[in-house]
């Protein structure tokens, strides 16, 4: 079962701010998340309830970690993406 993705205004802005090819990678990661959130997500350690999924982007020796913070919709068919953050990593 594939979930419907609903990006918050903040998440939509964060996605739009990413340069290519990172933006394309994030879009593909969101589709993977929608296909099987249980296999890629874990509970967020933040104060708010929710889940998060991390994806490793390796491009030309530069490693970035993309973290998607989301909530399951009450309809059990929607993922509400709250934040998309990108950090340099190893």
Would you state the pLDDT for residue 59?
87
User: What is the full per-residue pLDDT of the chain (90 aa) written as tens digits?
Assistant: 799 999 999 999 999 999 999 999 999 999 999 999 999 988 767 656 689 999 999 988 889 999 999 999 999 999 999 999 999 986
Would you state the pLDDT for residue 50?
85
Total structural domains in the chain?
Answer: 1
Would you state the pLDDT for residue 1?
75
Residue where the block lists tokens 């491009």 = 59
Domain span holding position 18: 4-88
**What CATH number is associated with residue 9?**
3.30.2310.20
- DSSP string computed for the chain: -PPEEEE-HHHHHHHHTSPTTHHHHHHHHHHHHHH-HHHHEEE--SSS--EEEEEEEEETTEEEEEEEEEEE-TTSSEEEEEEEEEEE--
**pTM value?**
0.91
Would you state the pLDDT for residue 89?
82
In contact, 34 and 3? CB cutoff 8 Å: yes
């Amino acid at each position: 079962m594939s979930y419907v993705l609903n990006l918050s205004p903040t998440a939509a802005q964060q996605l739009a701010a990413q340069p290519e090819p990172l933006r394309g990678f994030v879009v593909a990661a969101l589709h993977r998340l929608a296909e099987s959130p249980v296999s890629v997500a874990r509970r967020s350690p933040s104060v708010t309830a929710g889940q998060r999924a991390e994806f490793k982007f390796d491009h030309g020796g530069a490693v970035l970690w993309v973290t998607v913070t989301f909530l399951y919709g009450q309809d059990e068919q929607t993922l509400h993406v709250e934040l998309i953050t990108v950090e340099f990593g190893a």
